[in-house]
């Protein structure tokens, strides 16, 4: 039976992390039993990779608004009708 892994939460992601239970927490060693025949003294490290990809959009710079020149006020409806009918009201 392999010893349990000790999982540690970290606010910072690590690119690669090897975790193994410390010797004081391994069940076989706590009970005073040594490793069985054919069993390695040291467990191979477990590689855990935690990655994060951040994607940000690059916005194009806003074009400055065109300044419109001052133009004369629009024609009123009465002025338009007067012009259209040749001065007849």
Q: Is 48 helix (H, G, I), strand (E, B) or coil?
A: strand
More confident residue, 35 or 29: 35
Cβ atoms of residues 27 and 5 within 8 Å: no
Q: In whole angstroms, what is the distance from residue 58 CA to residue 39 CA?
A: 55
In a domain? residue 58 = no
pTM: 0.19
Domain that holds residue 6: 1-53
Q: Pick the closest to residue 50 from 9, 2, 5, 3 (CA basis).
A: 9
Based on the structure, what is the number of domains in the chain? 1
In a domain? residue 86 = no
In a domain? residue 78 = no
In a domain? residue 46 = yes
Per-residue pLDDT tens over the stretch 7-33: 666 665 555 555 666 666 666 544 455
In a domain? residue 73 = no
In a domain? residue 84 = no
Q: Pick the closest to residue 17 from 49, 44, 51 (CA basis).
A: 49
């Amino acid at each position: 039976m392999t010893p349990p892994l000790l999982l540690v939460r970290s606010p910072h992601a690590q690119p690669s992390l090897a975790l193994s239970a410390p010797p004081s927490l391994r069940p076989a060693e706590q009970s005073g039993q040594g490793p069985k025949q054919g069993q390695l003294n040291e467990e191979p490290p477990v590689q855990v990779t935690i990655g994060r990809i951040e994607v940000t959009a690059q916005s194009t710079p806003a074009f400055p608004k065109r300044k419109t020149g001052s133009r004369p006020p629009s024609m009123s409806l009465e002025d338009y009708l007067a012009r259209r009918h040749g001065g007849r009201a």
